[in-house]
Structure 1
């Protein structure tokens, strides 16, 4: 069969992968702090007998959009949004450290602070545990201050400080939990310069209109690749008929 079919197949494969990324982005357009995935592919010459006149598609290392989403005021004392650059350190289900921009925080049944995805928020010494309290305040530097249950109005206790980090975004990758980790597997140290906005959350940075346009464009490209495969099959059948006639 003509090598055209393999060239078209690689193009169709990359179109399908790109469509899956766009579909995932659209599905998370309302997810707090979500970072959109990017799909990259490049052309690669196919070397072999003769001249390398054919080009295959090759998936590049995945990338992500790191621009900030819109900060939305909620009035919830537990909600925090990271200002500008920076991340909130959380604990993955595996017990390892990872980073997110999702700041819709709450206290779970075990008295531990977690975000809307169920990831435990890390403080100076690990997950942040809350004793019985009446009031909570989260400062711009992530410091958590509470009024213990039964305490006087002027008796405030500094409970912990949310671990805020500011790694090089180029050294981060997204894992299967939808969280970001360092590519070298290292742990990022706290950064005192990172600040948060209390009583607010950051929206997803997915541009729904842009993703819809990408989906339509990728769909048209996929149709083109399929037509090329059909053309390759027709060429193969025509050549077979000519051989039989000879």
Structure 2
């Protein structure tokens, strides 16, 4: 019964991970998880060379598996599908990296969700209201905002005849992204 129970527990965990992945399929920047398992120790029933019948011996011995154990979950860092939104402040990261945002309390946070907007104070913020770091101020009445592949934010500021740089979005990367 114990062996069957470990298998049921493992499959329950696998189904919960898959359910979470499906529930978040439309969540911006979501990275799916995969459940990882490992076998428990084998119990040796017979050793190699043990007599099996009067004329034969077991060549490899006989081992009995004692079940499976949940090792944990691993995040799968594959790129999701990119969509055009028509909002010049919506960004997508192609490849590794995270946008830096200021969390409540002043600490830095990291997100792959690039659906940004202009706050009432003119700051570039996430949909949750966290300020993009380093801070970028979008002046009132600004038009024609463009963001280059290098993160340079340019716009037509009222009173000017040419687009000017109003900020630079920086992308943070980590040597061990799986450890986040």
Q: TM-score, normalised by structure 1?
A: 0.55
> Unpaired runs of 5+ in structure 1?
174-181, 184-246
The Cα offsets for residues 151-207 of structure 1, whole Å up to 9 and x where unpaired, read as: 2332x4422211113334xx124xxxxxxxx55xxxxxxxxxxxxxxxxxxxxxxxx
Pairs within 5 Å for 1:1-246: 4=1, 6-45=2-41, 53-93=64-104, 95-123=106-134, 127-135=135-143, 136-148=145-157, 150-154=158-162, 156-168=163-175, 171-173=176-178, 182-183=179-180
Q: Distance in 1 between matches of 2:88 and 2:65?
A: 59
Q: Larger Cα Rg: Structure 1 or Structure 2? A: 2
Let me know the Cα RMSD of the aligned residues.
Answer: 2.8
Kindly state the Cα deviation for residue 31 of structure 1 after the two structures are TM-superposed.
1.8
Kindly state the Cα deviation for residue 109 of structure 1 after the two structures are TM-superposed.
4.0
Change (3 A) 1:16 1:119: farther
Tell me which protein shows more helix as a share of its residues.
Answer: 1
Alignment: residue pair count: 161
Q: Distance in 2 between matches of 1:12 and 1:114?
A: 45
Change (3 A) 1:20 1:141: same
Kindly state the Cα deviation for residue 94 of structure 1 after the two structures are TM-superposed.
5.7
Alignment correspondent of 1:202: none
Kindly state the Cα deviation for residue 12 of structure 1 after the two structures are TM-superposed.
1.9
Alignment correspondent of 1:193: none
The Cα offsets for residues 15-51 of structure 1, whole Å up to 9 and x where unpaired, read as: 222212111111111122221111111111177xxx9
Q: TM-score, normalised by structure 2?
A: 0.72
Q: Distance in 1 between matches of 2:67 and 2:109?
A: 36
Larger RCO (CA under 8 A, 6+ residues apart):
1
Alignment correspondent of 2:59: none
Cα contact 1:133–1:146 (8 A) shared by 2: no
